Amino acid sequence: MTVTTDLLLEATGVSKAYGAVVALKSASLAVRPGEVHALLGANGAGKSTFVKILTGVVHPDTGRIVVRGKERTAHSPAEARRGGLMSVYQEPSLIPDLDIRANLRLTNTPLEPFRHWLGQLGLTDLDLSSLARRVPLASLRIIDLARALAIEPDVLMLDEMTAALPANLTERVLEVLKTMHGGDRSVIFISHRLIEIAAVCDRATVLREGETVGVVDVTVGSEERIVELMLGQSVEGLSARTGDVTGPESRAKTATPRISARSLNSGTRLHDASFELYPGEVLGVVALEGQGQDELFDILAGSSRPKGGELLVDGQPVSFRHPADAIRAGVVYVAADRAEALLMQRSIRENIALPFSTRFRSWGLIDLGKEHESVDGAVTRLQIDARAGGEVRRLSGGNQQKVTIARWVAGGVRTMLCFDPTRGIDIRTKTQIYRLLRDMAEAGAAILLYTSELKEVQLVCDRAIVIFGGRVVGEVSAADGDEPTLLRAAYNLRSEAAVPEAVAAMLGSSSSSADASTSAGSSRPEVQQ
């Protein structure tokens, strides 16, 4: 095969809009043969849409994708694979009820190269006739990778493949990736861990707001450049605060915390979460995707039970078996996904009044007068535009989100957990929600706010905790919580970027990577532990 271009894969001017929402404006990516190329972007930068387009899951509106000099139009992952691009995801794509051999046959995987790569990856004792569901999850991820390597695609895309892999296996994967350097084939590597990117990648393409904003040669100290690119210019200084910024110190720390979490552990992604939430404060939670924050909120909201650790509400140890227990203890939850929180076919009124009728003793006749009063109060307070009327599904996203909050405001809030409440809604509604959260905190409520928009920390929070790898690794006060600081903290990055050391720490230690990150966190200067 003659290579007519010096690029193995080239994507230019790729865009994609979902209705009025532009997910990707103009993304480009150029991958040279024999390089490991990182693709980076903060939440909402369009990374996942770009990945879906590259792998053929989504068809772009505009743009060209050229592989080995030939233009490619893939309409399905299978076509993309025939075009030379193969992906491995965080979740293994093996069929659980088939044995490994049958799974390999499904994708026409040659057996000998598969065994070779399996050996390279350190998985030598695999019985090919065992059912996929009996194989441990970590091994399945390795099998998935070995299968992709055995097919020898031109471009191998690893999408957060190492996110849930134990440290020793991550190490083997990174070592195998290093052997790809200088060959004929390339790897696109997507990871939240900048340390891994520093260890194996040659170059990094950074996306922001749907555009490719830069390509960086990964060398010592390039993290700073990457973080800068991801952030772009700092956004407007909109503030929801009415009074002075009150630091947590000035608040009555003598008050009993509304929530005390002590080493909460979900058994899956959350390993060790300890923090206190005081009345009258908004406590931010900062974390990259999948660091255990979902599990933490599920535990606090009573949706799932912790595997370990202790949870105290108002100083009393609690063990929630159902969200109803949490609600009775005064802990209410505003879910991120509105489709999860709303009765789409019912009215605004019924949605807001739903918690009123959940208890057995309120199954009887509804006092409509009283209900109207509290529902109308909440509708007014949140400025819900009720003109759309009728079913909640006909409301705009912002109004829907307000309904999910109004549901709890109507009954009076003591402690509220908000999981990314402003995701995907317009700026006006966002401001209203910020103001509401501040007002509630001023009135004595305690609010825990996970946000994927880092600037919200300075806008609404008093302080923020940072979760990385399932652990609370630090705390930042709102005054110090500018975006670069928070993003560095979220990546668990030291500000004096001592990359070789960090890599050495990770590659050299046989302990789990999470341990390494805790120690890294404790020595971070601008972050209080």
Partner 1 sequence: MSAAVFSNRWLSPSAWRNLFRDWPLLPLMGLLLVLVIVIQLADPGIVTLPWAGVIMRASVPLAILGGCQTLTMLTGGIDLSVASIASMTGFVTATFVHSPGGWVQGMAIALVAAALAGFVTGIGVGIFRVHPLIMTLAMSFVVLGFANVWQLQMVQTGAGVPGELRWVGSNTLFDVIPYSLLVFVPLTLLILLGLRRTGFGRLLFAIGDNPIAARLSGARSWQVLIALYVLSAVLAGIAGLVISGFTNTASVSLADPYLLPSVAAAVIGGTSIMGGRGGFSGTIVGALILTVLTALLTVLGLPEPTRQIVFGSIIVVVAAAYTRVTSES
Applying CB under 8 A, among 132, 143, 204, 353 the residue interacting with partner 1 is: 353
Binding residues for partner 1 restricted to 383-402, rule: CB under 8 A: 393-394
Asked if 350 is part of the footprint of partner 1 (rule: CB under 8 A), the reply reads yes
- In angstroms, give the least distance from the CB of 394 to partner 1: 8
Asked if 348 is part of the footprint of partner 1 (rule: CB under 8 A), the reply reads no
| Encoded tokens for 190 | 């997507």
Q: Which residues pair with 99 in a beta bridge?
A: 131
Task: Kindly write down the DSSP assignment for every residue of 248-275, as one continuous string.
Answer: TTTS-TTSPPSEEEEEEE-SSS--BEEE
| Among the listed residues 16, 5, 21, the one whose alpha carbon sits nearest the alpha carbon of residue 426 | 21
Asked if 11 is part of the footprint of partner 1 (rule: CB under 8 A), the reply reads no
* CB atoms closer than 10 angstroms to residue 6: 10
Asked if 323 is part of the footprint of partner 1 (rule: CB under 8 A), the reply reads yes
State the residue for tokens 């600081």: 485
Asked if 330 is part of the footprint of partner 1 (rule: CB under 8 A), the reply reads no
* CB atoms closer than 10 angstroms to residue 465: 26
Starting at the edge strand found earlier in the chain, the sheet holding 186-190 runs: 70-71, 62-67, 9-18, 21-31, 211-217, 203-208, 36-41, 186-190, 155-159, 85-89
| Among the listed residues 304, 341, 297, 300, the one whose alpha carbon sits nearest the alpha carbon of residue 321 | 304
Of the listed pieces 49-57, 193-201, 347-355, 507-515, which binds partner 1 according to CB under 8 A? 347-355
Asked if 343 is part of the footprint of partner 1 (rule: CB under 8 A), the reply reads yes
| Among the listed residues 201, 176, 199, 86, the one whose alpha carbon sits nearest the alpha carbon of residue 122 | 176
State the residue for tokens 């939670």: 285
Of the listed pieces 145-153, 307-315, 341-349, 425-433, which binds partner 1 according to CB under 8 A? 341-349
Nearer to partner 1, 76 or 358 (CB): 358
Asked if 358 is part of the footprint of partner 1 (rule: CB under 8 A), the reply reads yes
Asked if 301 is part of the footprint of partner 1 (rule: CB under 8 A), the reply reads yes
Total of chain residues touching partner 1, rule CB under 8 A: 35
The secondary structure of 372-400, three-state, reads HHHHHHHHHHCCCCHHHCCEHHHCCHHHH
- Chain-centroid distance, C-alpha 1: 41
Contact (CB, 8 A) for 437 and 334: no
Asked if 373 is part of the footprint of partner 1 (rule: CB under 8 A), the reply reads no
Applying CB under 8 A, among 340, 496, 508, 525 the residue interacting with partner 1 is: 340
The secondary structure of 419-459, three-state, reads ECCCCCCCHHHHHHHHHHHHHHHHCCCEEEEECCCCHHHHH
Applying CB under 8 A, among 214, 356, 383, 512 the residue interacting with partner 1 is: 356
Of the listed pieces 25-33, 304-312, 318-326, 497-505, which binds partner 1 according to CB under 8 A? 318-326
- In angstroms, give the least distance from the CB of 97 to partner 1: 21
Applying CB under 8 A, among 218, 341, 379, 409 the residue interacting with partner 1 is: 341
Asked if 335 is part of the footprint of partner 1 (rule: CB under 8 A), the reply reads yes
Nearer to partner 1, 226 or 331 (CB): 331
Asked if 412 is part of the footprint of partner 1 (rule: CB under 8 A), the reply reads no
Of the listed pieces 59-67, 316-324, 491-499, 508-516, which binds partner 1 according to CB under 8 A? 316-324
Interacting residues with partner 1 (CB under 8 A): 301, 303, 322-324, 327-328, 333, 335, 339-346, 350, 353-360, 362-366, 368, 393-394, 407
